[in-house]
A = this chain, B = another copy of it.
């Protein structure tokens, strides 16, 4: 059941620019890539590198003299998400967290968890298992925040969304992350592709760390966890921006698709009492 991903981005270039893209799918234990192809208009210079420890794959493009830049990305991905029975997942104290998870406890640009301690403990503090808390946070966001294109912008943070009660997938993820961290649950930002999402677009959701495993939650409920293909992991969208531009370009056209011939999204019932992890 491979997912077929196709992306085309067209930019007009006003002045020579350097662009950083994070749109390549990751290759991980549970995510296998085939037939990957990345093309850029001839005349641009490309360089490929991970920014840190394997959590993303950047491509840096120098537009050189081009006035128009077209990127295409194609890949076929096979994933193997796992599931755990919630009642069998045990929590670990902060002192036993893997060190690499600690930084996902700290506040970040769009996730001001340092301000949300009271809010989080009042709403979710009565639940006595961090996985139940993360799950309740995701449900609460789905119920309380309106998914509204245009309700937010690139500067919108979790505190804004908590006030305004509207946003898009990025905002939903930021709020989920901020609330988890406010309860001392490490949480991180996931960007990727989501099978059959309508309208087709890049997607964002969040992962919470319980018992040193990372469970995925999509508070928008626009994707199914078994239809997610990871591009990058980060503290928030500042770490995992799809495109960072140094210079003057304009996105003229974008086409994203992620499909699969026989994809069966998990139902709410399938997920009952279970939590999903994308990686082992």
Residues on B with C-beta less than 8 A from A164 are 115, 118-119
B122 lies within 8 A of A144 (CB) = yes
Among residues 43 to 72 in chain A, which have CB atoms less than 8 Å away from a CB atom of chain B?
45, 47, 49, 51-52, 58, 60, 62
Within 94-118 of A, Cβ neighbours of B (below 8 Å) are at 94-95, 99, 102-103, 105-109, 111-112, 114-116, 118
Q: How large is the interface on A (under 10, 10 to 19, 20 to 34, 35 or more residues)?
A: 35 or more
Task: Please tell me if A132 contacts chain B, counting CB pairs below 8 Å.
Answer: no
- List B contacts of A112 (CB < 8 A): 109, 155
A106-B119 Cα distance, complex, nearest whole Å: 27
- Which A75-105 residues have a C-beta within 8 angstroms of B? 93-95, 99, 102-103, 105
Q: Is A136 an interface residue (CB 8 A)?
A: no
Contact assessment for A118 and B166 in the assembled complex, using a CB-CB cutoff below 8 Å: yes
Beyond A95-B62, A102-B20, A154-B114, whether A238 also contacts B108 by CB under 8 A is yes
Contact with B along A156-167 (1 / 0, CB 8 A): 000100111110
